[in-house]
Amino acid sequence: MKKIAILGSNSFSGSSFVNYLLNKNYKVLGISRSKQPKFFFSRYHLNKNIKNFNFKQINLNNLKKIISVLDDFKPEFIINYSAQSMVNESWDYPLDWYATNVMGTISLVEYLKNKKYLKKYIHFSTPEVYGSTKKYIKEGYTFNPSTPYAISRATSDFHINLLNKEFNFSSIITRASNVYGEYQSLYRIIPITIIKILKNEKLHLHGGGKSERSFIHIDDVNSALIKILDKGTIGDTYHIATKNKISIYNLVKKISSMMNYDIEDLIVNSKDRLGKDKNYFLNSDKIRDQLKWKDNIKLDKGLKEVINWACVNFSYLKNLKTRYEHKK
């Protein structure tokens, strides 16, 4: 049984990949700062191979405790999703973002760079490091971060690449476009739109929803990650994205139409977020050509699945907050 550690296993992407790996018969160690999510926000609770999953509640900044657990488990692979991940809130608490995304992450990889048991360290980064772009960009595009969050992620990316170059650290960096799917936190644009419609409440649309994004289903991201895990080249960076883009306004309009709701009864235009990137589009030809990956879930199909998930679980979800609450 291959052994893998997932840092940030309580995150939407992390918990989804835990479930994916259990289906592939991996032995999985999950580490996150918070308690395990309830069933409504995690698929793996019902996985038939749940016996192969062990969870430890540890903050990334508690290096001593994390390395003790990792050294005991001795994973062949580590995927790190751990990060302070909210963009707008990083302006309010920049030191928390730098503490986790820079100091916490770099302290960890500095320790891992000489570990013999580790075959691959995969760092789940973000397109935010590039800033706003008008065209589809490849993996070597120049960094131009526009928020404290983006600066913090770019810094750790730089350091990880440096460790690979100078110490042969077995690292790979991935950047996925806007990930979505069932079980996602309610403050993200797709689930919050659905919940607001179900509750007949107004949705505040920053900047009128003019910014454009490329949305990719979490299952397609997971299928890309398993290929990177198996055949990805150490030292490389891979973009994981679809070839389609849509404005946030048109995304909300599409969801409204699918739920037979008038978008004009839903949205309230509000001021755009500070430093918000208007567009970023990732060229994913590299992973398609080299690792023979492709995305399979069209946006309409994926949205229907999320709508169904929200409707089935609405009696529980309707009582939850739809705003992000910051935790150190």
Do 174 and 206 reside in the same domain of the chain? Answer: no
Specify the pLDDT at position 312: 96
177: its two tokens = 């476009």
**13 phi and psi angles, rounded to 5 deg:** -70, -40
Position 270 scores a pLDDT of: 86
Q: What was the pLDDT predicted at 279?
A: 80
- Give me the residues of the chain with pLDDT under 70, please: none
- For residue 10, tell me if it sits in a domain: yes
Domain total in the chain:
2
Whether residues 69 and 192 fall in one domain = no
Pairwise CA distance, residues 143 & 84, whole Å: 19
Residue 270 belongs to domain spanning: 185-213+246-278+299-317
> Are residues 129 and 194 both part of a single domain?
no
CB 48 within 8 A of CB 25: no
- Report pLDDT for 274: 80
The token pair that represents 145 in the structure block: 């971060």
Element (H, E) at 85: none
* ∠ CA 157-161-166, rounded to 5°: 145
Q: Write down the mean pLDDT value for the chain.
A: 95
pLDDT at residue 89, as a whole number: 93
pLDDT, tens digit (0-9, with 9 covering 90-100), for 275-323: 777 787 899 999 999 999 999 999 999 999 999 999 999 999 999 999 8
User: Are 200 and 236 members of one domain?
Assistant: no
Q: Judge whether 7 lies within some domain.
A: yes
What six digits make up the tokens of 16? 């989804």
Q: What is the CATH number of the domain that holds 49?
A: 3.40.50.720
Q: Are 81 and 54 in contact (CB under 8 A)?
A: no
* pTM of the predicted structure, to 2 decimals: 0.96
Residue 154 lies in a domain: yes
Does residue 30 share a domain with residue 128? yes
199 and 97 share one domain: no
